[in-house]
Amino acid sequence: MKKLSQLQVGKKGVIKEFTDLEMSLKLMEMGCLPGEEIVIERVAPLGDPIAINVSGYMLSLRKQEASTIILQ
Amino acid sequence: MKAEIRVALVGNPNTGKSTLFNLLTGLNQKVGNFPGVTVDKKTGYCNLPDGRRAEIIDLPGTYSLYPKSRDESIVFSVLADKGNQQAPDLVVVILDASNLKRNLLLYTQVADLKIPVVVALNMMDVAKKDGISIKVDSLAAKLGVPVVPISARRNEGIDELKKNISYANKFALQQDSIDVKAIAPQLVDAIGEEMQIDNPYYALQLAHQHEHLTFLSESESSRIEQLEQTYNFHSQKAQATETIARYNFINDLLYDTVKVKEAAHEENTSNRIDRILTHRVFGFLIFFGILLFIFQAIFAWSAYPMELIETLFVWMQTGVHQMLPAGPLTDLLADGVIAGLSGVLVFIPQIAILFAFIAILEDTGYMARVTFMMDKVMRKVGLNGKSVVPLIGGFACAVPSIMSTRTIENWKDRMITIMVTPLISCSARLPVYTLLIALVVPSRNVWWIFNLQGLALTAMYLLSMISAVVVAWVMKHILKARERGYFIMELPVYRMPRWNNVLLTMFDRAKTFVLEAGKVIIAVSVILWVLSSYGPGDTFQQIEKKYQEPQYGQKMKPSEIEHAIASEKLESSYAGHLGHVIEPVIKPLGFDWKIGIALITSFAAREVFVGTMATIYSVDNADEIQSVKAKMANARNPETGKPTFTLAVAFSLMMFYAFAMQCASTVAIVYRETKDWRWPAVQFLYMTVLAYGASFITYMLLK
Ligand SMILES: Nc1nc2c(ncn2[C@@H]2O[C@H](COP(=O)(O)OP(=O)(O)OP(=O)(O)O)[C@@H](O)[C@H]2O)c(=O)[nH]1
Ligand SMILES: [Mg+2]
């Protein structure tokens, strides 16, 4: 079971599911849906949050939030 | 004039709603390149091609009709309040053509409310550059609504959009997107029956949001609650089902209407800029470099225009004295009003430069990156990355900044941000600092490029940031969290600042500052002048009489006598009495009763300080016309004969202004945003305590 927060910068992953219903609502509204491909674009200078590319735009989220996203 | 049609602009954050609003209405609503610029609704008027007049409503951006923050909740309450006179007849949904998929989610929700809709496909220029081709006609056919490609920033397609607004149907013609009833079939029917609603999606929305909607009566809301219990409704699960269904619809829709060119996708310009600006090492260095540069620029670039304005005012003051007959009214005009105004108007160049820089930071998209970089630090001290926007805005003015905290989803983060924002050194403190620094810090260069005065000012700004952080950290341990905090935020692409927008913002904000400050200053100047020109009973006559006695005439020159009379009169005037009343309290801080008067008048607004100084020291030595700075530099302690404004006094005074809550507008806005007078009360209290403590320590150390 690989979480989005474990992905390295520059690597891709495909969303499988979420571990947190409340968080998943916001994430899905922002375009992070099961089946969607995600690229880790960069990490903030202090190591958190991270910036990801999802469906063509840049989204930033904290590692803690990224860890609720399970990849395929 | 009444409008014949009411049009609401709805869309995701940062899609260009306010840019379009400004084009349609000719107004100057704030625009910036980060999500959450607009936090309140704003209306304007637009003439349509068919001769009708439309009322346009600009709204905060939102990703869905389920609000996550205060600003977002405004959108649904405007669309849903059907009984209200303000309910829109037509919604223009603004979609970012370069990011259609996510944008369409909100569209499908709005469309399902069955309000007539026109789609404005904005940012066509960006889409084209990114190699995205959209079959607009087939998209329109599939949705069943007009779709108008526009580029608001380049003023393209606006006439076409206006035409579509004026020919828009009174009835909603859009295709259904998803089967809403399938999400909660019995509940939707039951609420529909109960509330006389025939739109299933509206009924479903009421089920989700009834607790937060002010237009529902309590009995209606509890009735809905009961129905939810009966049918076992789980709001979050239902939302998840709905969102997934909507995205399925959107994927089908986009499958043969939108083509994205695959090549050249990897390294776009924004990414390359980000590589440097959010670099692990350089990221923060660049950020602090930018801040330092701004403060240096404020000082360096404004020197010449400030001198010019100062000369102009001294010239005006002299003119008034020469042209008008001598007397109390002339004195009021010249020494009260004009001197008071000059005290603040002199700072227009500095304030304008500050506003211009903030506008540039916001317009390029850099602000969002600062948010991104600072989130971890901010979280440590009880704030949120998003707190950066109000805090940086606080350099200009706390009032709009406190409003902009509405975008912070988490209650605790938002409250702490509101509580500490007034500590950030705002533009009203700038005149006070500049004046006092110019008085006691030599204008010398150290290490070639750094001006000593500029460094002192930068230090005051740094202090304000540090104090905000420390206070936030303390409050983090006092306040209890109500919900989890999170930070999920779109990072917009970089854009060139629009220079005319920057200029306009600069001009607009400076104008507001002058008007607002001007009103207060004139009022306070007049009151202060009256208070300092009259005393209780016949004290003034007695002073005059006293100096007519021969013993004075022999010892002193006539000009000296005049001076002595003037200062004694001031001391026994109403203002003098006021100053003397608080003198015991402020003596430990190094302030005399004259500064005490300035502290009292500054409680309405800080910038009054300079005007008060001008007025008080004009009454004192009315025979010469000088700038405020010169007057203060010449001020002497009557007992010791030493200058009043020593290094210790000036810095102690700056500390007081740094921490004290001397701004009635901020108190009012904090009350409005928190809806509880205890917040502004606590804020006022803690800031006053800090101010006193910091002043006291500073004075003790430097004395
Ligand atoms: N390239 C391009 N940029 C645009 C266009 N329209 C708006 N912008 C830019 O997009 C940014 C956001 O514009 P705003 O009008 O503030 O967006 P908004 O939708 O009101 O944003 P919020 O108030 O935060 O919801 C600004 O930097 C605009 O200059 C366009 O057609 N093309
Ligand atoms: Mg806006």
Residues B72 and B113 occupy one common structural domain: yes
Class of domain A2-71: mainly beta
B142 SS3 class: helix
Q: Tens digit of pLDDT for each residue in A10-60? A: 999 999 999 999 999 999 999 999 999 999 999 999 998 999 999 889 999
Show the tokens assigned to B624: 């010469």
The answer to whether the CB atoms of B487 and A62 lie below 8 A apart is yes
Rg of the Cα trace of chain B? 30
| Banded pLDDT at B519 (limits 50, 70, 90) | confident
Q: Quick check: B102 contacting A, CB < 8 Å?
A: yes
Give a yes or no: residue B663 inside a domain. no
d(CA B245, CA A24): 15
Q: Tens digit of pLDDT for each residue in B320-370? A: 888 888 777 787 787 777 877 877 788 788 888 888 998 899 999 999 999
Is the pLDDT confidence value at B584 over 70?
Answer: yes
Q: What is the pLDDT of residue A50?
A: 95
Structural domain range at position B210 = 180-256
Chain A residue numbers touching B63 (CB-CB < 8 A):
29-30
Show the tokens assigned to B483: 């919900």
ipTM here:
0.96
Q: What is the DSSP string of B276-299?
A: HHT-TTHHHHHHHHHHHHHHHHHH
Please give the average per-residue pLDDT across B139-155, as a whole number. Answer: 95
Residues B146 and B202 occupy one common structural domain: no
Show the tokens assigned to B460: 């005051």
Q: What is the pLDDT of residue B661?
A: 92
Give the residue from B131, B166, B201 where a domain finishes: B166
**B57, containing H or E segment:** strand B53-58
Q: What is the pLDDT of residue B613?
A: 83
Residues B19 and B148 occupy one common structural domain: yes
The answer to whether the CB atoms of B372 and A44 lie below 8 A apart is yes
Q: Tens digit of pLDDT for each residue in B393-410? A: 898 889 889 999 999 989
| Banded pLDDT at B261 (limits 50, 70, 90) | confident
Residues B12 and B79 occupy one common structural domain: yes
* Cα atoms in the 13 Å half-sphere on the side-chain side of A7: 29
Counting every residue written for chain A, the total comes to 72
Q: Tell me which residue in A24, A42, A60 faces B489 most closely, judged by beta carbons.
A: A60
Categorise residue A35: left if φ over 0, alpha if ψ from -120 to 50, beta otherwise.
left
Residues B162 and B187 occupy one common structural domain: no
Give a yes or no: residue B329 inside a domain. no
The pairing of strands A12-18 and A37-43 is antiparallel
Residues B48 and B92 occupy one common structural domain: yes
Give a yes or no: residue B197 inside a domain. yes
Please name which of B142, B172, B341, B367 lies closest in space to residue B250, comparing C-alpha atoms. B142
**Ligand 1 atom with the shortest distance to the CA of B36:** 24
Nearest chain A CA: its distance from B533 CA (Å): 60
The answer to whether the CB atoms of B247 and A33 lie below 8 A apart is yes
Is the pLDDT confidence value at B155 over 90?
Answer: yes
Give the residue from B197, B227, B256 where a domain finishes: B256
| Banded pLDDT at B223 (limits 50, 70, 90) | very high
Is the pLDDT confidence value at B625 over 70?
Answer: no
Closest ligand by atom to B13 CA: 1
d(CA B304, CA B316): 19
Residues B112 and B69 occupy one common structural domain: yes
Cβ neighbors of B669 (< 8 A, separation 6 or more) are B398, B399, B402, B403
Categorise residue B611: left if φ over 0, alpha if ψ from -120 to 50, beta otherwise.
alpha
Is B37's C-beta closer than 6 angstroms to any atom of ligand 1?
A: yes
Is the pLDDT confidence value at B122 over 60?
Answer: yes
Show the tokens assigned to B548: 């007519």
What CATH number is associated with residue B95? 3.40.50.300
Q: What is the pLDDT of residue B639?
A: 75
Q: What is the pLDDT of residue B234?
A: 92
CB B18 within 8 A of CB B498: no
Is the pLDDT confidence value at B623 over 60?
Answer: no
Is the pLDDT confidence value at B606 over 90?
Answer: no
| Residue of the CA atom closest to atom 16 of ligand 1 | B31
Is B495's C-beta closer than 6 angstroms to any atom of ligand 1?
A: yes
Cβ-count burial of B566 within 10 angstroms (0-12 exposed, 13-18 middle, 19+ buried)?
A: middle
Is B504's C-beta closer than 6 angstroms to any atom of ligand 1?
A: no
Reported pTM: 0.88
Nearest chain A CA: its distance from B158 CA (Å): 26
**Ligand 1 atom with the shortest distance to the CA of B33:** 27
d(CA B57, CA B92): 10
- Taking the centre of ligand 1 as the mean of its atom positions, its distance from the CA of residue B665, in whole angstroms, is 29
d(CA B65, CA B110): 8
Chain B interface, best mutation among A5, A54, A57, A69, by max B CB count within 10 A: A57
The answer to whether the CB atoms of A33 and B372 lie below 8 A apart is no
d(CA B11, CA B75): 9
| Cross-strand bridge partners of residue B110 | none
Q: What percent of chain B has pLDDT above 90?
A: 50
Residues B90 and B186 occupy one common structural domain: no
Q: What is the pLDDT of residue A44?
A: 94
| Banded pLDDT at B303 (limits 50, 70, 90) | confident
Residue with the bigger pLDDT between B567 and B319: it is B319
Residues B122 and B36 occupy one common structural domain: yes
d(CA B311, CA B346): 10
Residues B111 and B247 occupy one common structural domain: no
Q: Quick check: A37 contacting B, CB < 8 Å?
A: no
Is B62's C-beta closer than 6 angstroms to any atom of ligand 1?
A: no
Q: What is the pLDDT of residue B264?
A: 53
Is B391's C-beta closer than 6 angstroms to any atom of ligand 1?
A: no
Q: What is the pLDDT of residue B428?
A: 86
Nearest chain B CA: its distance from A49 CA (Å): 7
The one-character DSSP state at B646 is -
Residues B195 and B141 occupy one common structural domain: no
Q: Which residue of A has its CA nearest to B127?
A: A56
Give the residue from B166, B191, B217 where a domain finishes: B166
Three-state DSSP string of chain A: CEEHHHCCCCCEEEEEEECCHHHHHHHHHCCCCCCCEEEEEEECCCCCCEEEEECCEEEEECHHHHCCEEEC
Residue with the bigger pLDDT between B124 and B457: it is B124
Q: Quick check: A21 contacting B, CB < 8 Å?
A: yes
Q: Quick check: A60 contacting B, CB < 8 Å?
A: yes
Is B69's C-beta closer than 6 angstroms to any atom of ligand 1?
A: no
| Banded pLDDT at B621 (limits 50, 70, 90) | low
| Banded pLDDT at B175 (limits 50, 70, 90) | confident
Q: What is the pLDDT of residue B156?
A: 95
Q: Which of B111-115, B342-346, B426-430 has the lowest mean pLDDT?
A: B342-346
Is the pLDDT confidence value at B622 over 60?
Answer: no
In chain B, how many domains are there? 2
- For residue B41, give Cα distances in angstroms to B8, B44, B78, B144, B645: 10, 10, 9, 28, 48
Chain A residue numbers touching B274 (CB-CB < 8 A):
41-42, 51
Q: Which residue of B has its CA nearest to A34?
A: B244
Q: What is the pLDDT of residue B620?
A: 56
Residue with the bigger pLDDT between B532 and B249: it is B249
The one-character DSSP state at B264 is T
Is the pLDDT confidence value at B634 over 60?
Answer: yes
Q: Tell me which residue in B102, B385, B484 faces A57 most closely, judged by beta carbons.
A: B102
CA B491 to chain centre: 21
d(CA B420, CA B422): 6
Residues B137 and B189 occupy one common structural domain: no
